Amino acid sequence: MRRFWTIATAAALLVLSFPVQAQNGEETQPAARRLAHMRLSGEVLGSPPSFTLFGDGEYMTLQDWLHRLSRARRDPEVAAVAIDIDSPEMSLSQAQELADAVVRLKEVKPVYAYLNSPKAAEHLVASGATEIAMDEADMLNIVGVGAEMFFFGKTLGKIGLQPQMVQIGRYKGAAEPVTSDEPSQYLKEQYDWILDDLFDQLVEQISSMRRLSRDEARKAIDMGPLEANQAVELHMVDRLCAKVDWLDRIGDGLKDEDGKYHIVANYGKKEPIAVDASNPFALLNSLLRGSKPAEAQDPTIAIIHVDGVIVPGDGGETLLGQRVVGASAIMGAFRQATEDERIKAVVFRIDSPGGSALASEQIYNSARKCAKVKPVIASIGQVGASGGYYIAVAADSILADPAAITGSIGVVSGKIAITELLDKIGVGRYEATRGRNAGLWLSRPWTAEELQVIERHANQTYDLFVKRVKDGRGTRIGDIEAVAQGRIFTARQAAANGLIDRIGGLREAVALAQDAAGVEEPFFLVLPRARSLADVLSGREEPGPLGLPGAMALLDEPALRLVNTSGAAYMMEIARLLQGESVLLAMPEYLLIKQ
């Protein structure tokens, strides 16, 4: 599946410090002979899935990967680490944090990275290593950054659909994809503003991590995509090597006097739950039991994830794979964190473009209530904008990865009037109402009076959004109107304007939470926990929006995934939310930054 990435520099960050545990079932080998091998492939989840059949052995989160790299760094029996970067699915913020973990690992022992059909995100992770290798037949696909947005105003008009949209904030731009044929000057400003910083970060990342001048880095980008030999000539890659020979070449430097060395395959990977598929009763028992949920210990740092579009209820996944996070689930997580005395602080990890205004307000209030009794630190991953930023300002401090998208302080509301389409296809329509505004959400366009009702409600929501930001950020933002009106920012721009406190990833957020709580070696509890089949069937957890949380775990058609990456799933979820709410706090558009 093709992935789209924003590009950014790697800051000198640190990885999470997790306790080191011994490898179960492995013979002890002298350090000089042990090569820890890891394969970075498949989807790197930002948070545990909303639903799992057999427990946490089914998936790998960013936190799991940081744990593995930290464990290798601190394991005295590991002499070197080999990371096979094999087309993983990850966001830019995840690539940044993994790169920083690799840099920290390299400070202690050699790290060797192998690239397979790499793009910028994979190269970012590999750049932290001691040496990068790739196949001579491969290609390094770093070409810069580009953005693409689609406009359907003319298309909708041709088929008789009339968008009825209200947006508060000149830069919000939420209505433009369905009302216009091209971007406004404000939306063009936003694209230029974001792309300028992202490209500058790309050049800076390459030049700093590959020890090149900015001119040399810019030249490499402009020549991309690079054939393997060009990548070596331009110092983007260190060595060309067939993958089948790669580990043997690394191992030559680890051999003892007898010419032996030991490879620890899949170092640090979580053990999956053993399931006896031949025994239907054992299989059913495994399905119903799931994995035993972790409990807080004293002291604990809770990591609460908001990963996806913000909706009312418990969340889950849509049919097209769009991750949605429910306010009820997050409120329950904050309630647990607030009431459990063993939990000393909370890291509020946010990767969301926003969504429901009401759900965002409910999450904000829960986070704010928790912050009154213990430290709450917000950590923004790939995106924390609109409703995603609304909930972040409830925290005591906000950190974000360098290229994270944030801000978008604005409001959108609207509907699609379909009466012209109905006329074209010969469908009759009769309207009967009782009450002045009873026809507000019928299929026809709004009247002038109805439009005033929508605008009044939208302005009230915008005013509340601004108030929440003022309350949360205080004097850290000088002129609120200069950063509001729907403007979006990269984290570097947001830090310069006071929307966030500093650049940093999950590890920095955890360290700040530990300092604020005064704890040195905490236990980490991830919330909300993944729901099991037993939870759903027993009624202990309500189902997601499709009646079964994590539906895409059971329906994973490539065609549906392809549609999701085009942004259709996001737009469909926004349209669904507008059917239930008159005002949303959502990103201005589904922004694709392409490499």
Rounded Cα distance between 46 and 188, Å, is 30
Q: What share of the chain is helix, strand, coil (3-state, %, to 5)?
A: 40, 20, 40
Mean pLDDT of 43-55: 70
Tokens describing residue 454:
């929508």
Q: Could you read off the pLDDT of 448-473 as tens digits, one per residue?
A: 999 999 899 999 999 999 999 999 99
CB 401 within 8 A of CB 381: yes
Amino acid in position 507: R
3-class SS of residue 259: coil
Mean pLDDT of 65-83: 93
Distances (CA, A) of 533 to 330, 467, 551: 20, 41, 12
Packed helices 120-127 and 92-106: angle between N→C axes, nearest 10 degrees: 20
Q: Could you read off the pLDDT of 305-331 as tens digits, one per residue?
A: 999 889 888 766 655 556 788 899 999
Nearest one of 455, 456, 311, 458 to 391, comparing CA atoms: 311
In the numeric block, the tokens 């909303």 are attached to 50
Lowest mean pLDDT among 165-179, 218-232, 321-335, 580-594: 580-594
* Cα-based angle 403, 409, 412 (whole degrees, multiple of 5): 115
Distances (CA, A) of 391 to 376, 396, 513, 552, 594: 12, 12, 18, 27, 28
Nearest one of 59, 192, 38 to 126, comparing CA atoms: 38
pLDDT of residue 12: 30
pLDDT of residue 516: 96
Q: Which domains does the chain have, with CATH numbers?
A: 31-143+224-264 (3.90.226.10), 293-411+446-590 (3.90.226.10)
Mean pLDDT of 55-64: 73
Residue 564 reports pLDDT greater than 60: no
Tokens describing residue 22:
């011994």
Rounded Cα distance between 254 and 269, Å, is 22
Note the pTM of the prediction, 2 decimals. Answer: 0.80
